[in-house]
Homo-oligomer: A and B are copies of this chain.
């Protein structure tokens, strides 16, 4: 159905369209890429490709542009992820080295990713449930109000306010802090839930109301998926979408503010070897019909802590973008592993 040359033609069309953002015709195609055939032949191939739904004409007597399916085929079969140049690699590592805490790592990563892909970058903070407890702190703010602070192995710090049922006995707090830490430190958050219950049981019934309040709140902190944090950067790159701002850019800006949507866009975290690419209507969000997402997981080799990626127009340079996303994910994984 689609022989080798037709695929070459499709590849050439995608590359040309990505470079120029203009419909590409048979003549210009043979001129620019040296396919060894005549425009007429290319035209026949184009007709076939259009028949199959990989390319389309904006109007009669215009060149062709790739459809979402065309990009999909291009990404899956017709291109290879482009490795970064040594200079770029050096730039990445020098940019990331010297981050002082997790927030800083994430901020730098977003900035870096936006800069080298020239797209909008999205970085998800390491998922709580896959990290482990480093330390738990209980601080009295007012006699009836406590602040819980959870520090995880990934350096993430979570805080939460708890209203106490009664005025708080300071000695009890000290006691609780000690027991919580000895019971939970080092445990994965996912496993910590069960340990928490047993801690409750070691307290006298009189102290139970307070202890339960705290434990419950802690439990929420451990499990709440809604608390997923996300950083976004490089929104200024949206200017390069072309025109029809209202239809193309506005929905993206709106999506960028809805972290729930972003999480869906990024999708399941995969390991840094695997890149997820969602093209146009493949996205789980209406309004991003002209938008693609390139994402991958980061964290350890075997298991991803969280996801990062970029959002850009479907007519992006996939090989370079994918290379950049993968490279950044790897470097971030490395930085996190070191600390």
- Select the stretch in A228-236, A291-299, A310-318 that faces chain B: A228-236
Which B residues are in CB contact (< 8 Å) with A139?
134-135, 137, 151
Contact at A149–B141, with CB atoms within 8 Å? Answer: no
17 additional contacts (CB under 8 A) given A134-B139, A135-B137, A149-B151: A100-B160, A134-B147, A135-B147, A137-B137, A145-B339, A147-B155, A149-B149, A149-B157, A151-B159, A155-B159, A157-B157, A157-B159, A235-B235, A235-B253, A235-B257, A239-B249, A245-B245
State how many angstroms separate the Cβ of A322 from the closest Cβ of chain B. 24
Given the interface contacts A137-B137, A139-B134, A239-B250, does A155 sit within 8 Å of B149 by beta carbon?
no
Which B residues are in CB contact (< 8 Å) with A49?
none
In angstroms, Cα B133 to Cα A46, docked, is 70
Does A286 make an interface contact (CB < 8 A)? no
Does A161 make an interface contact (CB < 8 A)? yes
Does A332 make an interface contact (CB < 8 A)? no
Contact at A234–B250, with CB atoms within 8 Å? Answer: no
Per assembly, the copies of the chain total 2
Which B residues are in CB contact (< 8 Å) with A102?
159
Contact at B151–A161, with CB atoms within 8 Å? Answer: no
Give A145's nearest chain B residue, CB to CB. B339
Which B residues are in CB contact (< 8 Å) with A236?
250, 253-254, 257
Does A101 make an interface contact (CB < 8 A)? yes
Q: How many residues of A contact B (CB 8 A)?
A: 34
In angstroms, Cα B243 to Cα A243, docked, is 10
Which B residues are in CB contact (< 8 Å) with A137?
135, 137, 139, 149
Does A3 make an interface contact (CB < 8 A)? no
In angstroms, Cα B55 to Cα A187, docked, is 68
Which B residues are in CB contact (< 8 Å) with A147?
134-135, 151, 155
**Can you name 28 A-B pairs with beta carbons within 8 Å?**
A100-B160, A100-B161, A101-B159, A101-B160, A101-B161, A102-B159, A103-B159, A134-B139, A135-B139, A135-B147, A137-B137, A139-B151, A141-B155, A147-B151, A147-B155, A149-B157, A157-B159, A233-B257, A235-B235, A235-B256, A235-B257, A236-B250, A236-B253, A236-B254, A238-B253, A239-B246, A239-B249, A239-B250
Contact at A253–B233, with CB atoms within 8 Å? Answer: no
Which B residues are in CB contact (< 8 Å) with A157?
149, 157, 159
Which B residues are in CB contact (< 8 Å) with A149?
137, 149, 151, 157
Q: A247-270: which have CB < 8 Å to B?
A: 249-250, 253-254, 256-257
Q: A126-182: which have CB < 8 Å to B?
A: 134-135, 137, 139, 141, 145, 147, 149, 151, 155, 157, 159-161
